[in-house]
Amino acid sequence: MAAHTDSLLDHMQPEARATRPRIPVLMTVALDQTYDYLVPDGLEPKPGDFVLVPFGPQSRIGVVWDKAVGDSGKEVAPEKLKSIAGARDVPPLPVILLRFAEWIARYTRAPLGMVGRRAPRHRCRGGRPYAC
C-alpha cells in the first residue's frame, strides 16, 4: 500500500521527484537493457541488491545494476520514472557476478535479462528461491 501512496505523492510534488537519485535495475525478462527507477527515501540499494519494482501492470523482482546497460542515450524525464517499491532481504549478487553475466550475454548473444534470470539462486527464509 505504501508504494501506491508514494507514487501519488510523487505526482503531487514533481520538484521532489526530480531530485531523488535514480538507479539502473535489470529485469529478469528477455530484454537486453536496464531500466532507471527512482530511489525512495530511506532505501539505499547497492549494485547486486534485489528490489521489487513496478513493471508494466505488475510488480517484479529486479537486480540493481552498477551501470546502465543497453541505454538508447535518451534521457527519461523524472516525472515518467517509477519508484522502487522495496528491497528484498536476501544477500546481494557480487559485482563480479554482474560482470560475468554481461560476458555470458555477449558471448552467447542472449539478452542480459535472461542471463540474470539464471544467476545463482540463494534461498530466503522459508526455503523458497528469491530470484524470479
Q: Is residue 126 part of a domain?
A: no
Q: State the pLDDT confidence band at 131, using cuts at 50, 70 and 90.
A: very low
pLDDT tens, residue by residue, 17-70? 567 889 999 998 888 899 999 999 999 999 999 999 999 899 999 999 999 888
Residue 10, domain CATH: 3.40.1440.60
What pLDDT shows up at residue 87? 93
First and final C-alpha spacing in the chain: 22
Q: Is the pLDDT of residue 7 over 60?
A: no
Query: Residue 70: what pLDDT?
Result: 85
Q: Which three cell numbers stand for residue 39?
A: 530511489
Give me the pLDDT at residue 36, please: 93
Is 132 part of any domain? no
Structural domain contains residue 7: yes
What would the grid cell of residue 92 be? 546481494
**DSSP-based three-state secondary structure for 129:** strand
| pLDDT mean across residues, the chain | 80
Q: Quick check: 51 and 28 in contact, CB under 8 A?
A: no
- Domain membership flag for residue 130: no
What is the rounded distance in angstroms from the CA atom of residue 116 to the CA atom of residue 95? 12
Residue range of the domain that includes 38: 2-117
Number of domain units in the chain = 1
Question: Residue 15's pLDDT band (boundaries 50, 70, 90)?
Answer: low
pTM of the model: 0.75
